[in-house]
Structure 1
Amino acid sequence: MQELETYRVFIFLAVIIMLGLYQRLKPAFEYKKNNQRLKINLLMFISATALLRFAFPFGLYQMAQKINENNISLLELNQLPVFFSFLITILIFDFFIYWQHRFFHTIPVLWRMHEVHHADKDMSLTTGLRFHPLEIVLSASFKMILILILGPFALAYLLYEILLNSFAMFTHSNIYIPEKFERILRVIFVTPQMHYPHHNPRMKLLNSNYGNIFSFWDRLFRSYTPGTSYKFGLHYIEQTQAEDWKFSLKQPFIKTYSDSNHNQDKKP
């Protein structure tokens, strides 16, 4: 059990190192060195990880194992053939996390947490680490409910988490992908170029392309925006605020923008 968690950490670090090297060698757009931005993104990640460990000291993977051992879930996906169960688990979790992401944009109280992620004025793999601790704990709570209902193989859940974390790094990376290959890839998977518009300050673009791993949810639920974009951040949050750790932690409790206007299209 502990070995698998260790492998997960190693995979996460390996993905960060590989993408970090690639985005320095072959960026999609001009790389802007900003140590303060890097520091804040890492501090937000550390803060979120610390609160998550406090809220879930035993972890969701261990909980999934206990559910498997005692057969106490509602649907018991772990009783299905292994390959089919793994596939269904990944698809169902990604479907619900798509909707979770969408609700974080459309429900004002949730948006105030999630806007910490969107406040980043640039885009790189560390943007994929930048989330408010409360959002991370709330997301973990939602996953806990899904585990209790679905009863997936613990390993299938762990595999989904590895994929989700890896894609969070990948889709936020400043990396060049040849256009023809990118068009093929985004038929099934979310690519960085597909995700960039989601971080545009213009609300019409920001409220689109919610997918995490699979791109077809956006097409299916009519939230897909084609093409790409290279403008990032939120027009109502200054760079000095976005790069202030204390401000970022307080952000969900500060009315920085009219909640009633959030879903309106406003040009930066």
Structure 2
Amino acid sequence: MKRWLNNMGITIFNSLILKLLFASILVQTCLYVTDKQIGVLNLTAVPYWAKTLVTFVFMDFMLYVWHLLNHEMPFLWRFHRVHHTDLNMDVSSATRFHIGELAISAVIKISLVFFLGADMFGVLLFETLLVFTAQFHHSGLTVPQWFEKIFWILFVPPSMHRIHHSVVIKQRDSNYGTIFSIWDRILGTLITDVDQDRIRIGVGGHYEPAKLNFHHLLVMPFTAPVK
């Protein structure tokens, strides 16, 4: 119950700030690039459905790159470890992020929308499916093996992301995909052969629940980093 309160607390805190600061900017950027026909997609004569598909795939690939950088760059890891220090994994983990990470991510996302010339529908579709898939693969649900084998070909099942939350660094630095698993497969960051029952969730050096309260999570990026 306490970790749920911490996770929900940081979620509400993030939502209030991000909605005030960034949501309206993202919306206005979509409207602006569409109205002014700015961006790569607006320089081509491809059908609308193709532009939407490109927006969806491109945004997911860039999220993969951003996720990888959060693990590989020490400065970004300071913020991202807030997400990984959760000692269990369920739907509340999907929104347990430091406001600093989300703010940087929002600026990058707005820049990508401007570069791509993505319209509101494409971005909204991506953001909606992103929320649902993040909730699904953090849920820890056990799905039938036959379904998972098929689903894993293109998408991210809970077992794949559970490996990513392992305390073992080699396993944690893998499986970066959010919606599609194909980026991990193509770029060699996919790990599958891990015993799910032996996975320990968390980050080394952050095992005490009493030191993972809401205020600890807020100041964590400014304390000594733990790889």
Q: If the length of structure 1 is used for normalisation, what is the TM-score? A: 0.79
Q: State the distance in 1 between where 2:40 and 2:156 align.
A: 31
Change (3 A) 1:149 1:80: same
Residues 52, 78 of structure 1: alpha-carbon distance in 2 compared, 3 angstrom cutoff: farther
Q: Percent identity?
A: 33
Which of 179, 183, 186 in structure 2 is aligned with 1:220? 186
Structure 1 Cα separation of the partners of residues 65 and 59 of structure 2: 10
Q: Pairwise mapping of residues 157-172 of structure 1 onto structure 2 (< 5 A)?
A: 157-172=123-138
> CA–CA distance in 2 between the matches of 1:242 and 1:215?
33
1:144 aligns to 2:105 (yes or no): no
Q: Is the 8 A contact 2:165 2:172 kept in 1?
A: yes
Query: Is structure 2 residue 212 aligned with structure 1 residue 243?
Result: yes
CA distance in 2, matches of 1:187, 1:242: 39
Give the superposed CA RMSD.
1.6
What SS class does the counterpart of residue 175 from structure 1 fall into?
A: coil
Q: Which amino acid letter does the alignment assign opposite residue 102 of structure 1?
A: L
Residues 1:207 and 2:173 are matched in the alignment: yes
Runs of 4+ in 1 over 6 A off after TM superposition: none
Matching residue of 2:18: 52
Deviates more, 1:219-228 or 1:201-210: 219-228
- Aligned partner of 1:110 among 76, 96, 111: 76
Number of equivalenced pairs: 224
Shift of 1:37: 0.5
SS, match of residue 76 in structure 1: helix
Tell me the distance in 2 between the aligned counterparts of 1:159 and 1:242.
37
Would the aligned equivalents of 1:77 and 1:150 in 2 still touch at CA under 8 Å? no
Distance 1:66 1:206, change over 3 A: same
Q: Which amino acid aligns with 1:215?
A: S
Instruction: Mark the CA change 1:115 to 1:242 in structure 2 (over 3 Å): closer, same or farther.
Output: farther
| TM-score, L = length of structure 2 | 0.93
Aligned to 2:190, the other structure's residue is in SS state coil
Distance change in 2, residues 1:251/1:241 (3 Å): farther
- Alpha-carbon distance, 1:144 to partner: 0.4
Residue 87 of structure 2: SS of its match in structure 1?
coil
Residue 232 of structure 1 pairs with residue 201 of structure 2: yes
* Kept after mapping to 2: 8 A contact 1:185/1:191: yes
> 5+ unaligned residues in a row in structure 2: which ranges?
none
Give, in angstroms, the shift of residue 240 of structure 1. 2.0
State the shift of 1:55 in Å.
2.4
In 2, Cα distance between equivalents of 1:162 and 1:78:
26
Unaligned stretches of 5+ in structure 1? 1-34, 263-268
